[in-house]
C-alpha cells in the first residue's frame, strides 16, 4: 500500500510538471506573440533627403513615431532636410516604434577672421583655414604698425562671409620717410623701395637683376644714386636687385623701365 501511494504521488507530480511545461510552451507560442504582435513587423520607409514635414507625415501615416534627435550643419543639404534616420531605411520594425531623425541646418556659417597685426604668411593661413582666399595685397606706410604686418582688411573681422570669397589686405611699410634726401635702398625689398621713392617724388629707373641665392628675391643690392643726395636733384634711380634664378649674363636688365 505504501509503495502504491508513493508511486501515485510521483505520477501526479510528473503530470503536474508536464502540464507546467506545456503551459510555458503555450504562453511562448500563442499568448506572447499576441501580446508583442510578433510577426507584425513592417518595412520602415526611407525618409532621408526629404523635407522634415514630409518625412514626419509619411512616418506617422505608416504608424511610426518620428522623433527629431539632432540638427547638424551639412553643406550638402538644405536646412530642414532629413539626412539620417535610425533605424535605417527598410528595416523591419513594429508599428509605434520611435524613429529618430537627424536634420540639416545648412552650411556652417563662415566668419571673417581678424587679420590686423598678422604677418602676410599668417594672414594667408588664417584665410585658407576659413575657406577664404587672398586677392590683392596693398602696401602703405603706417605710423602705428611695424613693417610687414596687416593694417587693414577689406571685410571687417567677425562679419558673416561666403565660402571662397577673396579678401584684400593692406600691409604696413612702417613709418614713412621724413627726410627729403635719397635714402639708402640697399637691403630693402623692391615693394618698400617703390613706395619710399614715390613718397619723395623719385621714380624707379632701370632695374637690373643679379644672381644672389643667399638673399630674398627682389632685395636691392645696389643703387645708382648715393644715399644723402638731395631728392630735388634726382628724377629717377636705377637699382640692381637679387634673384634666386641663375642668369645668362652676370646682370640682366628688366625690360620695364620708367626712364
CATH number of the domain residue 231 falls in: 3.30.10
The domain of 233 spans: 190-253
Res 29: pLDDT: 64
Q: Check residue 154 and report its DSSP letter.
A: S
* Residue where a domain terminates, one of 89, 104, 119: 104
Q: Are residues 79 and 125 in the same domain?
A: no
CA–CA separation, 183 and 118 (whole Å): 27
Q: Check residue 233 and report its DSSP letter.
A: G
CA–CA separation, 216 and 209 (whole Å): 13
**136 within domain boundaries:** yes
37 — pLDDT class (breaks 50, 70, 90): low
* Residue where a domain terminates, one of 60, 84, 104: 104
CA–CA separation, 142 and 152 (whole Å): 11
Q: Are residues 161 and 196 in the same domain?
A: no
113 — pLDDT class (breaks 50, 70, 90): very high
Q: Are residues 168 and 194 in the same domain?
A: no
Lowest mean pLDDT among 139-148, 208-217, 248-257: 248-257
CA–CA separation, 243 and 259 (whole Å): 22
Retrieve residue 204's grid coordinates: 624707379
CA–CA separation, 113 and 164 (whole Å): 13
Res 177: pLDDT: 81
Retrieve residue 150's grid coordinates: 596687416
**221 within domain boundaries:** yes
Report whether pLDDT(206) > 90: yes
Res 191: pLDDT: 87
Structural domain count, the chain:
3
Average pLDDT over residues 194-199: 88
**3 within domain boundaries:** no
Report whether pLDDT(259) > 50: no
More confident residue, 28 or 131: 131
CATH of the domain at 93: 3.30.10.20
CA–CA separation, 60 and 48 (whole Å): 15
Report whether pLDDT(65) > 50: yes
CA–CA separation, 99 and 228 (whole Å): 82
257 — pLDDT class (breaks 50, 70, 90): very low
- Give the mean pLDDT of the chain: 87
* Residue where a domain terminates, one of 104, 129, 146: 104
**259 within domain boundaries:** no
Q: Are residues 207 and 247 in the same domain?
A: yes
Report whether pLDDT(9) > 70: no
Amino acid at each position: 500500500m505504501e509503495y502504491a501511494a508513493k508511486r501515485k504521488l510521483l505520477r501526479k507530480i510528473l503530470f503536474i510538471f508536464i502540464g507546467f511545461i506545456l503551459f510555458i510552451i503555450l504562453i511562448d507560442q500563442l499568448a506572447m506573440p499576441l501580446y508583442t504582435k510578433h510577426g507584425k513587423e513592417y518595412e520602415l520607409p526611407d525618409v532621408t533627403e526629404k523635407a522634415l514635414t514630409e518625412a514626419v507625415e509619411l512616418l506617422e501615416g505608416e504608424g511610426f513615431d518620428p522623433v527629431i534627435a539632432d540638427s547638424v550643419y551639412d553643406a550638402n543639404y538644405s536646412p530642414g532636410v532629413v539626412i539620417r534616420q535610425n533605424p535605417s531605411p527598410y528595416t523591419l520594425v513594429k508599428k509605434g516604434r520611435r524613429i529618430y531623425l537627424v536634420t540639416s541646418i545648412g552650411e556652417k556659417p563662415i566668419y571673417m577672421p581678424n587679420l590686423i597685426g598678422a604677418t602676410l604668411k599668417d594672414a594667408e593661413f588664417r584665410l585658407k583655414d576659413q575657406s577664404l582666399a587672398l586677392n590683392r595685397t596693398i602696401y602703405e606706410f603706417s605710423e602705428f604698425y611695424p613693417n610687414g604686418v596687416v593694417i587693414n582688411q577689406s571685410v571687417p573681422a567677425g562679419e558673416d562671409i561666403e565660402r571662397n570669397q577673396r579678401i584684400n589686405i593692406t600691409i604696413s611699410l612702417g613709418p614713412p620717410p621724413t627726410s627729403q634726401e635719397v635714402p639708402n635702398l640697399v637691403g630693402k625689398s623692391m615693394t618698400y623701395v617703390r613706395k619710399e621713392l614715390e613718397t619723395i617724388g623719385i621714380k624707379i629707373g632701370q632695374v637690373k637683376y643679379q644672381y644672389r641665392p643667399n638673399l630674398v628675391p627682389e632685395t636691392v643690392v645696389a643703387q645708382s644714386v648715393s644715399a644723402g643726395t638731395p631728392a630735388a636733384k634726382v628724377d629717377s634711380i636705377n637699382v640692381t636687385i637679387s634673384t634666386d634664378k641663375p642668369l645668362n649674363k652676370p646682370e640682366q636688365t628688366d625690360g620695364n623701365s620708367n626712364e
